[in-house]
Chains A and B, each alone.
Chain A
């Protein structure tokens, strides 16, 4: 077991690729929010309370087209339901950390923070300070970049030219390769990946990740019973 302080610093380091990915996306969201008439403070408050990229994009789009609050709240709930799976997957690893911190730490579960920390948790036991250092750092980078995006609007430099939009896919790629313990995992990845694209084409409303994950993981369970 590493010390609390060591894990805190390790956590902050693990947030770096996520920050690289959050900056351009946060900027883009902020610019869009400013265009929809939100103030930088309103943008920052949404990031502070909701902290969920795709749901925030959808909410701002709905706000700018004059949608009422109830459909926005329902959509947010549905788009973010996939966190339920992430939270359940982290639960066994949360057994060994200070229990009082679980309701705080779990607030910060996103696609990206989940993907990195579940990989780290599979490697070794982690203190609650790892999650705090990591999750809060990623969180602040998101809140700040959406705020800056809304403040500067179209003055934002073109981060795309610098390759920032590969940061998150590159991270997912490396993490995915770490999951490949045997051929079965590669098969599940291929099924899930192509299902995800298939659902983008066939089912509107950001259902692709949760549907592809459930089906592919079920196939994994089925395959392990066959053996």
Chain B
């Protein structure tokens, strides 16, 4: 392992390069008028990000596509999808889904 001082410089640099893209757009754009095209683009970002995070999470196991009964997260997602769509309730969706995965791991 690296020496303690080197490690500290490393994580400070990692922190800085992570912080700048997090901070600059919010700080600069919140004071300016954003062009219409970009506003339209940004309105689709949450939907696109959520799907881009969700799909690999429930349709893949160990970075391989697994859409079937051997993937408990896929099963849980399929069962909770109507709950999520109907109730729009984050807690209910998460808790029911966790219960399904727990039951799945217990039974299978």
Contacts and interface: CB of A to CB of B under 8 A. Distances in A.
A179 to B, nearest CB: 4
Interface in A176-227: 176-180, 185, 188-197, 200, 208-209, 212-214, 216-218, 220-221, 224
Given A72-B14, A163-B97, A180-B85, A169 B48 contact: no
A192 B11 contact: no
Given A73-B10, A195-B52, A189 B47 contact: yes
A50 B15 contact: yes
Interface in B1-60: 1-2, 4, 6-15, 17-19, 21-31, 34, 37-60
B7 to A, nearest CB: 6
Nearest to A96: B30
A95 interface: yes
A175 B88 CA distance: 7
Contacts of B76: 163, 166, 169-170
A45 B6 CA distance: 13
A77 B18 contact: yes
Given A87-B23, A178-B88, A197 B56 contact: yes
Of A38, A69, A87, A103, most B-chain CB atoms within 10 Å: A87
B106 to A, nearest CB: 8
A20 B98 CA distance: 10
A176 B50 contact: yes
Main secondary structure of the interface of A (DSSP, over half): helix
A162 B43 CA distance: 36
A37 B3 CA distance: 12
Contacts of A213: 45, 48-49, 52
Contacts of A118: 46
6 contacts: A55-B18, A88-B45, A111-B53, A166-B97, A195-B52, A220-B41
Interface of B: 1-2, 4, 6-15, 17-19, 21-31, 34, 37-60, 63, 65, 72-73, 76-77, 80-81, 84-85, 88-94, 96-102, 105-106
Given A115-B53, A194-B55, 9 more contacts: A83-B18, A87-B23, A89-B42, A162-B98, A166-B72, A166-B76, A174-B84, A177-B81, A188-B47
Interface of A: 16-17, 20, 36-38, 42, 45-46, 49-52, 55, 59, 63, 69, 72-73, 76-77, 80-92, 94-95, 99, 102-103, 105-107, 109, 111, 114-116, 118-119, 122, 160-180, 185, 188-197, 200, 208-209, 212-214, 216-218, 220-221, 224
